[in-house]
Amino acid sequence: MGKPKRAWLATRKAINHALLLGLHRPNQSNNRIKQPLWSQVWQMDRQLSSILGVPYSVPYSQSRHCIDESIPAQIMHRINNVVCHIGDRNQGIGQHSIPEIETQIQECATLFPEEWFSLSTEGLSFEFIYARQVCLMYLMQLKKNLYLPDVLTALQNPEASQTHREHAVQACREMVSAYKVLRNSSKSALVICDLMDFIVFSAALVLALHLLAPPGSRNSSRDADDWAIITHLTLTFRQLSRAIECSVAKQAATLLEYLYAAHHHQYAGPEEYVAVIPWFGRVKISCVPRQQHIAYLQTPSTDDNAESVGSCIEFGVNLLTPTTGSGNELESWSIQHMEEELGIDWTAFDDADWEYDWHQIFYSTNHYESTD
């Protein structure tokens, strides 16, 4: 659990064997034993490649047919075909525009039966709850991944269009909401899935980035509700980590707690806290005298506590690929921590000299500066 790189390597081997066995051939498309095996491996490859930021291996022409008539299978089949178009865009080879991909995502959404969401969760089976909520989370992940590059552009340039940023933020809200339904059900509360926890945590980080930006760059009417989403998710992670000793949930809860506290002038954590988050980026929270950054403000503070300690929050985010560094640092890290992956100690790499596609600094006064 929580080992996406190992799962990706195993999936690639499975695809190689499937190709040798001819499972991808058109004359196997109606074989009810072989076709589901082929469908499972290429769909898993699409999802894991998307998370790891690497190219997928099976072209769209080999993944059009879905023999499984169940609704969750049809939804995931359609979602994973859209994943390939976003992957192509990220690799610079895509021919699909954002409006075209938006249309495809909307077509995925129409596959969700309306009656799915009018049913009482406690009256449903575990299998149904899990399939429904996971499908919904993956749909929201599609939206978040589609718009993430534009989100970061909008954060650095308030004059840029904020439309895609709002779409991504709404997708993150809905992803967390879908996750909470899963965790709030007595039948699925303690399901062990580090990868699912991590994906939802990544969505919460995007939501936090949105909230850390200056209020003038966004519609701030939902700030209180959005911070409540983060604090409730933090509590869910904390409870989960205590119940099943989940390293991902525990570290996610700590980081989200620190972000909330730093932004709200309540930070009491380490003087310098640095977390290098696998396949996402880096977050650094440090205590600085308010007089050190007060000069950045357009209107000087008249607060009697202007000499007190404030917080500085730095984000480094990778858009498409895993964290890269100088020399062979990444390869050394990958080999050394192959067994742990998402479960590694995120604070163990505070001195790593890695580069990020996007970097920004926020102060607890809501001022921010870009160093990109």
Helix axes of 247-263 and 194-212: crossing angle, nearest 10 degrees: 10
- Is 3 a residue whose pLDDT tops 90? no
Lowest mean pLDDT: which of 3-12, 259-268, 320-329? 320-329
Rounded Cα gap, residues 137 and 180, in angstroms: 11
Rounded Cα gap, residues 202 and 141, in angstroms: 10
SS3 125: coil
pLDDT at position 117: 82
Task: Write out the two tokens for 85.
Answer: 């178009």
Distances (CA, A) of 56 to 11, 14, 86, 323: 11, 14, 11, 18
Name residue 274's beta-bridge partners: 284
Rounded Cα gap, residues 234 and 238, in angstroms: 6
pLDDT at position 186: 87
- Is 210 a residue whose pLDDT tops 70? yes
CB 141, CB 175: distance < 8 Å: yes
Rounded Cα gap, residues 126 and 252, in angstroms: 25
SS3 327: coil
CB 365, CB 297: distance < 8 Å: yes
pLDDT tens readout for residues 26-66: 777 677 788 888 889 999 999 999 988 888 998 866 666 77
**Average pLDDT of the residues in 10-39:** 86
Name residue 231's beta-bridge partners: none
Using the CB atoms, write b or e for 178-204: b if 16+ within 10 Å: bbbbbbebebbeebebbbbbbbbbbbb
Task: Write out the two tokens for 181.
Answer: 């339904």
**Average pLDDT of the residues in 246-261:** 96
SS3 359: strand
Name residue 354's beta-bridge partners: 325
pLDDT at position 121: 78
pLDDT tens readout for residues 278-335: 889 999 999 876 555 444 434 344 444 444 567 899 999 987 654 434 344 444 445 4
pLDDT at position 291: 53
**Strand-pair category, 324-325 with 309-317:** unpaired
pLDDT at position 58: 87
Fill in the amino acid letter for 310: G
**What secondary structure, in 3-state letters, does 5-42 show?**
HHHHHHHHHHHHHHHHHCCCCHHHCCCCCHHHHHHHHH
Task: Write out the two tokens for 359.
Answer: 């970097």
pLDDT at position 296: 41
Percent pLDDT > 90 in the chain is: 50
pLDDT tens readout for residues 188-208: 888 889 999 999 999 999 999
Task: Write out the two tokens for 165.
Answer: 């940023």
Which regions of 190-299 does DSSP assign to beta strands (E)?
272-277, 281-289
SS3 360: strand
pLDDT at position 319: 74
Biggest distance spanned by C-alpha atoms of the chain: 78
Residue of 29 and 133 predicted with greater confidence: 133
pLDDT tens readout for residues 69-122: 899 999 999 999 999 899 888 888 877 899 999 999 999 999 999 988 877 777
